Chain A
């Protein structure tokens, strides 16, 4: 009930904004919409910053940064419908659901709008290409490597994920399981789900430390979970015993690195991701590149990507943050 009213309100606002917006703008500006999972998440704010940077570099491009106020597919559908009505040139979406957005995005493509997905993808028929921040295999390997690097003699680790249905987290955990053979002595003793809620993640982390008193590391490949787990470890007085690692944002993890609850964690650079998404959307919408298997698309300062058989591409390796570089990055995103 609450969600519906809230998203409707937002959709209404964005429609209103568009009505005001169109009249004031020059017609020849290419308008690229960056649709995110939900507004107000640091990661996406940083991506929007990157997209703006790309727009400046390209010239004649306007970035519309939008999304629902909570992470629902319904909210995104309403936002995308509003964008179709506005007649934007390209939509770059980080999807809350792999399949639910497909019919709406198909409609957008029928109207000649370039549709790409980035970060969290949509099914193949719902987009022209998908930009992964990194390859799932690399991330899966990275999260276990982060834990293993601090456990030279092996040890027990547990995974604290988001929800049981989070596409991203499930794929990463699957990839992680595939490469476990490369890390002898490291055992994954449990996988729990904190639903990306601070309080539930905190309780799940507490539960892990109780169920497995010899636990050496908690791997949380989600930004809410990793912060909550670090706090739970600090409150349990287990700093130094249990290392919290995984994927998080430097600004949110600075405290945990400082306290020692987390030795290191990784994330790709969301600024680069937003930048690349905007670059690709521009290249496809302007006809400078075609979205077909094997195509190489230049993404400015980040380099270039090559599309695979499913028209998906990986941007770069995840980047590791620790005590040596956290100060530099915590003010960025």
Chain B
């Protein structure tokens, strides 16, 4: 039991993060101060939210490359809504953001489910379509901080029990989806649909519909994050979060989510996102030449994935041996 716990992916990742923090603090001690770690967590919150959605999609053997574009489109729409109606309560903004994100996610889901188009093609297409929509909507113009209302910008920054609302939303999402994934029929269906689609079908699970719901959840989280993103950085334009979908997929892969589907946990996605977030936040302060930074981020991802692959392979062998002994 203990051995399993130690060799589990999550434990390995926690260890890797601890080593990373020690390395960073040897160069910049201030990084591990609690207030700074809280800042890093806050900065990583958008990545955590998207990684949870992405994990669910990847579990069902799909991939959602449109999350960053969904985020950008929703962010632009709520910013423009805010410019037109600055007095709209934040609750309404949150509903619009999540609702629009959900619709965009459903659009992906419908194409995958009903038209059976490969998810990578669908989301590659919708990614471009969503970015194009932002262009059409905004005419390529920025929505700037002085055009946004104070309340709109203050919400993710507001402190509750010492942490900004942005961080709390990530924490709540982690708890909520941990429960959903472990304790609900839909949650288990995600694992079944990706782990063994044929068996899942025989068990009465509609694989297509399960994938549809995965995309819907991913879209909803991306939409919510869209509002949080534009209000945090107080600017909305066509290219916001450009290339962020790759960070999100990387966070999942680092977090031990199998790209083949069926394997992955919310905690894994959380840790994967934190690992990336720590690297991103540490690079500016550890005084490493910017010319090296990209190479270092990339190397960290490959090392994490290599370790991952290694761990998975061992697991497979053990199962075979047991089967051998049993017969």
Q: Contacts A164-B290, A199-B241, A207-B284 given: A252-B142 contact, CB under 8 Å?
A: yes
Q: Contacts A5-B128, A204-B284 given: A251-B290 contact, CB under 8 Å?
A: no
Complex formed: what's the CA distance from A197 to B291 in Å? 16
Q: Contacts A208-B284, A235-B157 given: A41-B140 contact, CB under 8 Å?
A: yes
Contact with A along B287-311 (1 / 0, CB 8 A): 1001100000000000000000000
Nearest chain B residue, comparing its CB with the CB of A191: B290
Contact with B along A150-180 (1 / 0, CB 8 A): 0000000000000010000000000000000
The answer, yes or no, to whether A95 is at the interface (CB within 8 Å) is no
B30 close to A210 (CB less than 8 A): yes
Q: Contacts A2-B124, A6-B131 given: A256-B145 contact, CB under 8 Å?
A: yes
Contact with B along A203-244 (1 / 0, CB 8 A): 110111011000000000000000110010001000000000
A252 close to B141 (CB less than 8 A): no
Q: Contacts A40-B135, A206-B39 given: A251-B142 contact, CB under 8 Å?
A: yes
The answer, yes or no, to whether A321 is at the interface (CB within 8 Å) is no
Interface residues on B, range: 35 or more
The answer, yes or no, to whether A308 is at the interface (CB within 8 Å) is no
Taking CB atoms, residues of chain A closer than 8 Å to B144 are 227, 251-252, 254-255
Contact with B along A54-68 (1 / 0, CB 8 A): 000000000000000
Where chain A touches its partner, the secondary structure class is helix
The answer, yes or no, to whether B248 is at the interface (CB within 8 Å) is no
The answer, yes or no, to whether A39 is at the interface (CB within 8 Å) is yes
Nearest chain A residue, comparing its CB with the CB of B46: A199
Complex formed: what's the CA distance from A207 to B61 in Å? 38
Nearest chain A residue, comparing its CB with the CB of B125: A5
List 16 interface pairs A-B (beta carbons < 8 Å), by A numbering.
Answer: A2-B124, A9-B128, A40-B135, A40-B139, A45-B140, A70-B242, A164-B290, A192-B290, A203-B281, A206-B43, A206-B284, A207-B284, A227-B144, A254-B145, A258-B146, A330-B146
Chain A residues within CB distance 8 Å of chain B? 1-2, 5-6, 9, 39-42, 45, 69-70, 164, 192-193, 197-200, 202-204, 206-208, 210-211, 227-228, 231, 235, 251-252, 254-256, 258, 330
